[in-house]
Amino acid sequence: MRDPMFVVLLRFSDNKPAAGRHLAGHQEWIKRGLDDGVFLLVGSIHPGLGGAILAHNTSGEELRKRVDEDPFVAQDVVTAEITEIAPGMADERLSFLL
């Protein structure tokens, strides 16, 4: 079986106004995920609905723990949804994921 991949959706909650207070910690959390080789892609959900992360090199349990450490999640600025993907085919540029 191939290693799983994950899509993490971080959707703003009613507590979105608190985002500014926790933004620096959230950005540090993202940088750590990129530096650790777990996050492949990080971006925004338009129009201003939250963020999305493509993750690999981790287990579902480890990713859930990592996501729970995000200050935005811990402070209920966003709700997190994690979807596991079993890679089947990919463009040649993404073949390292298979």
Within a domain: 96: no
Within a domain: 94: no
The tokens 């990713």 sit on which residue?
A: 63
Whichever domain contains 30, its CATH number is 3.30.70.1060
The set of residues, in sequence order, having a beta carbon less than 8 Å from that of 41 and lying 6+ positions away, is 52, 53, 54
Domain count, the chain: 1
Within a domain: 92: no
Per the structure block, which two tokens stand in for 84?
């596991």
Within a domain: 58: yes
Tell me: the pLDDT tens digits for 63-86?
Answer: 999 999 999 999 999 999 999 999
The residue range of the domain holding 24 is 5-87
Q: Is the pTM of this model over 0.85?
A: yes
Within a domain: 97: no
Tell me: the pLDDT tens digits for 15-25?
Answer: 999 999 999 99
